[in-house]
Structure 1
Amino acid sequence: MRFKQMVFTLFPILYMIFIWFLSSHPADAFVKTPFSFDHLLKESLHLIEFAILYLLIALAFITNGKWTKKASIFAAIIAIVYGAIDEIHQSFVPYRSATLIDFIKDTIGVAVAYFMMNKKYFK
């Protein structure tokens, strides 16, 4: 495996570890903005966070020459399932919560990225 392939294959795994690490701590443990809309800003990050995960998984497939419609669906499923796992994980973390609406936001982020990638690659 070439170095570039190995790096791009590791990116989604490292990103998932990063998500797990952040969700293992209270929401304001690392970043607390002085804005009155701090909570709203962090809530909207669910959309972006899991869209990025899908895109990193897609990039791993693309870099390894395995990008197909089935791979795209598989990448979306992985990202959505990880979103569910992360929500369950957060239910055990003090000062965190697991909500259906957060999972829906995670899924919407993945869906938007999925449709954008499919429009670009499988038109």
Structure 2
Amino acid sequence: MTKQIVKATQKVSIHNVQIESRRNALKKLNDVIRKYAHVIVYLVLGILVINAFVIRGSKGCKAFFFSLIFCFLYAATDEIHQIFVSGRGAKATDVLIDGIGALMGIVIYKFMFKIYQKTKTESSPKRL
């Protein structure tokens, strides 16, 4: 994805800019894109995990905390796995970034579920 952005920006960028400063800017851009991608992927994971807990019968704070713990543990094991991959390394900040993405997904799910429950009760026929 970064390569496509670089191709698009090279068409409109100034060609007299020093090569080294362009490389540094591209490296920073690549890092930012990768971090945001992690947030989005873990946001989706958070939504799927809390949905699984809710379907299995966990409600409220229990589902929230179990989902958050599961996602943080998954992020931590992913970082541990990267220790064994050449050219990669484990960073605690990456676990935190992934966890924030999962937290965002869980909160979005809880918010949307609350709205769904509210509209469901409002649209159901009232008993006399």
Q: Which structure ranks higher in relative contact order (CA pairs < 8 Å, sequence separation ≥ 6)? A: 1
What is the CA distance between 1:118 and its match in structure 2?
A: 2.7
Which aligned pairs between 1:95-114 and structure 2 lie closer than 5 A?
95-114=87-106
Q: Give, in angstroms, the shift of residue 46 of structure 1.
A: 1.7
What TM-score, normalized to structure 2?
Answer: 0.60
Distance 1:97 1:39 in 2: 14
TM-score (norm 1): 0.62
1:66 pairs with 2:74: no
**Is 1:49 aligned to residue 41 of structure 2?**
yes
Query: Which stretches in structure 1 are left out of the alignment for 5+ residues?
Result: 1-30
Query: Deviation string for 1:90-122 (max 9, x for gaps)?
Result: 122101121111111011111212222233335
Deviations 1:45-97 (A, max 9, x none): 121121111111122234x3524121222111101110011011112210112
Larger Rg: 2
| Alpha-carbon distance in structure 2 between the residues aligned to 1:102 and 1:65 | 30
In structure 2, C-alpha distance between the alignment counterparts of 1:32 and 1:41, rounded to whole Å: 7
Tell me, what secondary structure is at the counterpart of 1:33? Answer: helix
Name 1:116's counterpart in structure 2. 108
> Which protein is richer in helix relative to its size?
2
> Identity over aligned residues, as a percent?
27
Number of residues of Structure 1 aligned to a counterpart in Structure 2: 92
